[in-house]
Every structure is written in structure tokens, then in C-alpha cells.
Amino acid sequence: MGTLCEKDDYAKRNGLERWFTIDDLWEHLESFNQRLVSPLPIDYFQRLGYIQQRRSDGKVSLTDTGRQHCRDPDTAFTLPENYQPQER
């Protein structure tokens, strides 16, 4: 969420598109398998109403509600320490 907030703020200040690919947001999470892990925080923050995801290209963007929580230190998604992704 922090990376998305930073990129959203930068895009807003510079008149850029405020929709981001998963690759745009994955820069600090290289140790995790993106295909298996990325749906988890996306689903979590969508349920909270903080982000939206376009079906056409998979890009994500903050909602107005999500932007209100960008400075909230309690707004985080943490994988359980014992998380073991399952291939499907």
C-alpha cells in the first residue's frame, strides 16, 4: 500500500496516469513469486475499498477512500510468516 501511495502521489504531482501495473508496484518484493502472492494484497485492499483493479489490463489504482489511508501506519498487508503458496 505504501508503494502505491507514493507512486499515486508522484503521478498526481506530475500529471501522470494514476493506474499502475503489478510490475510497477513489485520493486521491493522481488523475493516473492509475484504471480502467486500479488492477488492476496490486491483482494485484501479491494475488500476494504482502498484500491480498484481494471479487468481490461489488471492495473490498480487507489480509490478516494484508499488515499485517505495513505498516511495511516496501521494500513498494511503482511503475509503470515509461515505462508506457503500453493501452485494451482
The string of pLDDT tens digits covering residues 29-81 is 565 655 666 777 888 889 889 999 999 999 999 999 999 988 887 776 555 55
CA pair distance 70, 9, nearest whole angstrom: 10
Q: What is the 3-state secondary structure (H, E, C) of the chain?
A: CHHHHHHHHHHHHHCCCCCECHHHHCCCCCCCCHHHHCHHHHHHHHHCCCEEECCCCCCEEECHHHHHCCCCCCCCCCCCCCCCCCCC
- Predicted confidence at residue 13, as pLDDT, reads 96
- Predicted confidence at residue 34, as pLDDT, reads 59
End-to-end CA distance of the chain: 26
Residue 84 resides in a domain: no
Indicate yes or no: pTM above 0.85: no
Which residues form the domain of 33? 2-68
Q: CATH number of the domain that 7 lies in?
A: 1.10.10
- Predicted confidence at residue 65, as pLDDT, reads 94
Task: State the average pLDDT over residues 19-31.
Answer: 76
Closest-CA residue to 46 (of 70, 29, 63, 32): 63
Look at the chain and report how many structural domains it folds into. Answer: 1
